[in-house]
């Protein structure tokens, strides 16, 4: 069609525009230029063939009208337009293609129409059900395309969709994450002004496009930066076994201190300051028995998997285990653990570092977060996501119970939280908040 619209796309947005992958996911900071990109995408697909059906979907119909309708009308040349319906927010082009603006709040009203392309703008803030039950089936007949654009909103469904593109296991998904400054429309001066006004997590989400939780995520800084595949198991160094006591699931985490790859810090060495690698905690394994477990079953699994270890064995965990009976067996949990391992070759290499009383939940959370990422950006805690996938899940999903004084919310998913507890008992015992910056020197290690 003649008289092509003139829409300016900055380089990062153009990367998304020219990509031909069927399902594309863009996480970005605010004022990245999402509206310009959405208009360009809608016109690209609507002009590509006759009678194409293209949708722009925002979280609400009113938002769709306010954000996109004026921009769309201004961008399309009059020569392209056959009909314009102000009431239904639909433009029909001369080639028979339609561009319709919709809201996701009443998604059942969208049923019954096949579509060739859809932009889901601010997808993080609309119901995933709209996609699963209405929009995705509408794309099936013509194998239509979709572009998900949003600033993040914690680790909700948009984060799950973003990870699909990162993994790209079937070559149908691709993802990008760009900051506001990479959008090219906002000056660094304006961004620095915003940085001074916002707390760190708000700034990182709104301007850096980072996935941060604002619903009370416990390990709020835990991210892919804390993943480390194939952490080293040193047969001679202490192996630390972390417990929390329940029946479903039965769990334990296996931790060993080691050099944190790529991390360095400056430490005092006598009269001089030297640069040294960071020593931190590495979760190198886990026990996860989903149902009908007990402390003895966890112990047997631990010994089966780690009996070849030659160094010291140190136990950490819930101090209340010394005062209660493990479900389904006789004796306190710590007594059962001690009795079990005294029958093995570990008996002369065992020690227990368990507090007499419970540290507060807030103390454990604070100690844990200091290790995950300190205020100066140093990481002292990593997890092998293959060897300990349920530990990763706990740290990514666990939240604080709304309205509580720091109580961890385990109501939504009863399986979530126990491995976090087990590890945080250990971190709080070894590195309480008032000693969170204590340095283990390379010589000590």
Please tell me the distance from the alpha carbon of residue 418 to that of residue 424, in angstroms, as a whole number: 10
Q: What secondary structure does DSSP assign to 277-326, as a single string?
A: EEEEEEEEEEEEE-SS--HHHHHHHHHHHHTT--S-EEEEE-GGGGTSBP
Selection from 261, 257, 260 nearest residue 239 by Cα? 257
The domains located in the chain, with CATH, are 11-205 (3.40.50.300), 225-435 (3.30.420)
d(CA 260, CA 116) in angstroms, rounded, equals 48
Give the CA radius of gyration of the chain: 27
**What is d(CA 386, CA 370) in angstroms, rounded to the nearest whole number?**
24
Residue of 349, 365, 368 lying closest to 308 (CA atoms): 349
What does the alpha-carbon distance between residue 37 and residue 39 come to, in Å, rounded to a whole number? 5
Taking every pair of C-alpha atoms in the chain, what is the biggest distance, in angstroms? 87
Angle at the Cα of 23 from the Cα atoms of 20 and 28, rounded to 5 degrees: 95
Kindly report the backbone phi and psi dihedral angles of residue 45, in degrees, each rounded to the nearest multiple of 5, phi listed first: -75, -35
For residue 439, the model assigns a pLDDT of: 37
**412, 402 contact by CB (below 8 A):** no
pLDDT at 441: 35
SS3 436: coil
Cα 336 from Cα 341, distance rounded (Å): 9
- The answer to whether the CB of 123 falls within 8 A of the CB of 161 is yes
Q: What is the pLDDT of residue 331?
A: 57
Q: Which of 155, 153, 161, 159 is nearest to 131 (CA)?
A: 161
In DSSP notation, 363-422 reads: HHHHHHHHHH--TTS---EEE-TTT-HHHHHHHHH-EEPTTSSS-EE-SS-TTSSHHHHH
Q: In this structure, are strands 239-244 and 173-178 parallel, antiparallel, or unpaired?
A: unpaired
Q: How many Å apart are CA 272 and CA 115, to the nearest integer?
A: 68
**Tens of pLDDT, residue by residue, the chain (445 residues):** 556 677 888 999 999 999 999 999 999 988 888 889 999 999 999 999 999 999 999 999 999 999 899 989 888 888 899 999 999 999 999 999 999 999 999 888 888 778 999 999 999 989 899 999 999 999 998 899 999 999 887 778 899 999 888 877 678 999 999 988 888 888 888 887 666 555 466 677 778 888 865 457 788 889 889 999 878 999 999 999 999 987 789 999 999 999 998 888 887 777 888 889 999 999 999 999 998 899 999 999 999 999 999 999 999 999 887 555 544 445 589 999 999 999 999 999 999 999 888 887 877 887 888 788 876 678 999 999 999 999 999 999 888 766 544 566 666 566 678 999 999 999 999 988 644 333 333 333 3
The CA distance from 103 to 105, in Å, is 6
> Which pLDDT score is estimated for 109?
82
Query: Residue 156's pLDDT is what?
Result: 83
CA–CA separation, 163 vs 174, rounded Å?
Answer: 9
Cβ–Cβ under 8 Å, residues 427 and 255:
no
């Amino acid at each position: 069609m003649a008289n092509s619209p003139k829409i300016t796309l900055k380089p990062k947005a153009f990367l998304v525009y020219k990509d031909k992958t069927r399902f594309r996911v863009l996480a970005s900071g605010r004022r990245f230029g999402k509206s310009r990109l959405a208009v360009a995408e809608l016109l690209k697909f609507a002009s590509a063939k006759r009678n194409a059906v293209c949708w722009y979907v925002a979280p609400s119909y009113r938002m769709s009208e306010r954000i996109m309708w004026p921009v769309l009308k201004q961008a399309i040349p009059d020569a392209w337009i056959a009909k314009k319906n102000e009431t239904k927010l639909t433009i029909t082009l001369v080639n028979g293609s339609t561009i319709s603006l919709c809201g996701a709040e009443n998604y059942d009203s969208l049923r019954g129409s096949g579509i060739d392309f859809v932009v889901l703008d601010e997808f993080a803030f609309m119901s995933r059900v709209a996609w699963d039950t209405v929009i995705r089936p509408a794309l099936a007949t013509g194998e239509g395309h979709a572009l998900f654009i949003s600033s993040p909103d914690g680790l909700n469904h948009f984060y799950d969709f973003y990870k699909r593109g990162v993994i790209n296991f079937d070559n149908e998904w691709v993802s990008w994450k760009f900051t506001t400054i990479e959008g090219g429309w906002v000056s660094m001066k304006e961004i620095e002004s915003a940085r001074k006004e916002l707390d760190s997590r708000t700034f990182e989400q709104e301007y850096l496009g980072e996935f941060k939780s604002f619903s009370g995520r416990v390990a709020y800084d835990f991210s892919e930066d804390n993943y480390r595949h194939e952490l080293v198991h040193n047969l001679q160094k202490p192996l630390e076994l972390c417990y929390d006591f329940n029946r479903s699931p039965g769990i334990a985490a296996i931790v060993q201190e080691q050099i944190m790859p790529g991390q360095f810090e400056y430490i005092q060495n006598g009269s001089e300051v030297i640069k040294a690698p960071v020593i931190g905690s590495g979760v190198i394994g886990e026990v996860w028995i989903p149902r009908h477990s007990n402390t003895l079953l966890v112990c047997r699994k631990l010994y089966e998997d780690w009996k070849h270890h030659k160094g010291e064995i140190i136990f950490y965990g819930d101090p209340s285990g010394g005062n209660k009976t493990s479900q389904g067996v006789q004796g306190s949990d710590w007594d059962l653990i001690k009795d079990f391992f005294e029958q093995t070759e570990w008996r002369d290499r065992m020690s227990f570092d368990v507090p007499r009383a419970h540290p507060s939940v807030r103390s454990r959370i604070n100690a844990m977060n200091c290790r995950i990422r300190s205020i100066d950006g140093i990481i002292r805690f990593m997890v092998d996501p293959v060897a300990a996938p349920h530990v990763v899940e706990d740290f990514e999903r666990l939240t604080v119970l709304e309205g509580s004084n720091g109580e961890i919310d385990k109501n939504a998913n009863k399986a979530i939280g126990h491995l976090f507890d087990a590890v945080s008992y250990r971190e709080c015992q070894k590195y309480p908040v008032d000693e969170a910056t204590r340095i283990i020197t390379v010589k000590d290690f």
